[in-house]
Amino acid sequence: MTSEALLACAVALPWAAALVTPLFRNQPNVRETVTLGFGGALFATNIALVGRVLAGERPELDLVAVLPGLELGFKIEPLGMLFGLVASGLWIVTTFYSIGYMRGHGEVNQTRYYSCFAIAIAAAMGVAYSSNLFALFVFYEVLTLSTYPLVTHHQNESAKRAGRVYLGVLLTTSVGLLLLAIIWTWSITGTLEFTPGGILRGKVDGRQLGVLLALFAFGTGKAALMPFHRWLPAAMVAPTPVSALLHAVAVVKAGVFTVMKISVYIFGPDLLTETGASVWLMYVAGGTILIASLVAMTKDNLKARLAYSTISQLSYIVLGAALANAWGILGGSMHIAMHAMGKITLFFCAGAYYVAAHKTEISDMRGIGWRMPVTTMAFFVGSISVIGLPPTGGTWSKWFLALGTADADQLILMAVLMVSSLLNIAYLLPIPARGFIFKPADSNGGPVKVKEAPLLCVLPLSLTAIGCVVLFFFADEIYRLILPIVGGVR
């Protein structure tokens, strides 16, 4: 099969899943088998594409010309390939987890859930493989709209209120800021194509460059830079598999991917470095990293703590883009994959605690490791990956980011990274520690009965915990994939 045909399949398969899934609403086993089949086919397609991208191919596919020189089109480059692999691979494990969670918890509207999830993955593929800013914006908005029914899944007042915040923040930032930045870029360059080295050199002066960067950075609300972060904690009212989608598979990763792609292919790292236009963004990202970590420490609700952890970790990627040097871009790009694997593990564990033990508050989880040892050990592994400790994948992305701050002579930001890792330890490791150090309050000194969540919950979280370790030893494969995007970057 040609590379272009594979690209067409990668774009079309999740849309097909969204259309076919409702046909089996009364046959849940068939419905979920169909979803898994499409997920497997999409991941296999991306695996077939990655070898060709590593070999230097850049498959392209134009769907329709909206205006002369402005197409709704696709082109695979290394950064997009990485995001496509992350989203498609985690779709499979999240579907397995969803089966265990949604059935174990007796959730309603499961067919709508699987259909909207497929549309969200389709939009993520569109964002990953967009050839220009126009196409990226279209799929970015589809992603927002397709995940709204997932955020409001329970249809109670708190879910509806969270949905209003979710749509309000994301649509306001994207239409009010991001779209303005795209139109401005088109007016001064005559193109929106993602181009190695950027398209803005010689087109805009220093002050305008800073304003344009601000419009892009804050307009990409899914990156959750403070103060445009409120939608993320609000959305935690959704079922846990949706939280996993928001934090690891598609939504927030689409945001930070967009920031990184704009930094590399619209501004160009050399332009940002020479003008110093992104220095302010480095410190906004650094502030978000620290403030969100401090807020996370105050949260007793496990999903709320993980939500603020995500806000902090996303800004590691924004920081890498703003550093605009080779180490920063490599570290930020690698963190897209490393954080995804670690954070999805943590959310899977949070959902398992809820399904098996009906626990949502950390203060109620004393001794839970004795009842749920597999889940709690997986939580420990996911935690050390998010912290950045070996032997887990998060070690490498944070190492490269630290090298990026050193290369940019930003010692304050290096200190931010170190302090943030200590804060990560403070708000994550006490959870598994409490789980194993203390005995359950109702054990009365006797034997504790193990009661894990359903197998289809425990198996995915075990696999993603193993994935955190695997990424430590195979980080070189990710490094080789994304290395071409920093070719020539000083």
Residue 320 has pLDDT above 90, yes or no: yes
What is the arithmetic mean of pLDDT over 225-254? Answer: 83
Please state, for a pLDDT cut of 90, what percent of the chain lies above it: 75
d(CA 18, CA 63): 20
Given this model, what pLDDT does residue 109 score? 82
Lowest mean pLDDT among 160-164, 302-306, 331-335, 441-445: 441-445
Q: Tell me the C-alpha to C-alpha distance, in Å, between residue 448 and each of 353, 368, 375.
A: 16, 10, 15
Given this model, what pLDDT does residue 490 score? 55
- Per-residue confidence at 202, pLDDT binned at 50, 70, 90? confident
Q: Of 58-67, 157-166, 228-237, 283-292, which has the strongest mean pLDDT?
A: 283-292
Nearest alpha carbon to residue 116 among 35, 44, 37: 35
- Per-residue confidence at 155, pLDDT binned at 50, 70, 90? confident
- Per-residue confidence at 3, pLDDT binned at 50, 70, 90? very high
Q: Tell me the C-alpha to C-alpha distance, in Å, between residue 139 and each of 123, 130, 341.
A: 5, 8, 23
Residue 446 has pLDDT above 80, yes or no: no
Please state, for a pLDDT cut of 70, what percent of the chain lies above it: 97
- The structure's pTM equals 0.94
Rg (CA), the chain: 21
What residues contact 156, with CB distance under 8 A and at least 6 apart?
none
Given this model, what pLDDT does residue 443 score? 61
Lowest mean pLDDT among 194-198, 369-373, 451-455: 451-455
Given this model, what pLDDT does residue 445 score? 60
Q: Which two tokens stand for residue 366?
A: 């004393």
109-145 pLDDT, tens per residue?
888 999 999 999 999 999 999 999 999 999 999 999 9
Given this model, what pLDDT does residue 5 score? 94
Given this model, what pLDDT does residue 286 score? 96
What is the arithmetic mean of pLDDT over 363-375? Answer: 92
SS3 324: coil
Residue 472 has pLDDT above 90, yes or no: yes
Residue indicated by tokens 């420490």: 297
d(CA 372, CA 454): 11
Given this model, what pLDDT does residue 249 score? 74
Given this model, what pLDDT does residue 315 score? 96
Residue 67 has pLDDT above 80, yes or no: no
- Per-residue confidence at 213, pLDDT binned at 50, 70, 90? very high
9-51 pLDDT, tens per residue?
999 999 999 999 999 988 989 999 999 999 999 999 999 999 9
What is the arithmetic mean of pLDDT over 163-179? Answer: 93
Number of H helices, E strands in the chain: 22, 2
Residue 159 has pLDDT above 90, yes or no: no
- Per-residue confidence at 444, pLDDT binned at 50, 70, 90? low
Residue indicated by tokens 């460059």: 209
| Averaged pLDDT score across all residues of the chain | 92
Residue 248 has pLDDT above 80, yes or no: no
Residue 1 has pLDDT above 70, yes or no: yes
What is the arithmetic mean of pLDDT over 81-94? Answer: 95
What residues contact 232, with CB distance under 8 A and at least 6 apart?
224, 246, 247, 252, 307, 310, 311
The number of residues making up the chain comes to 490
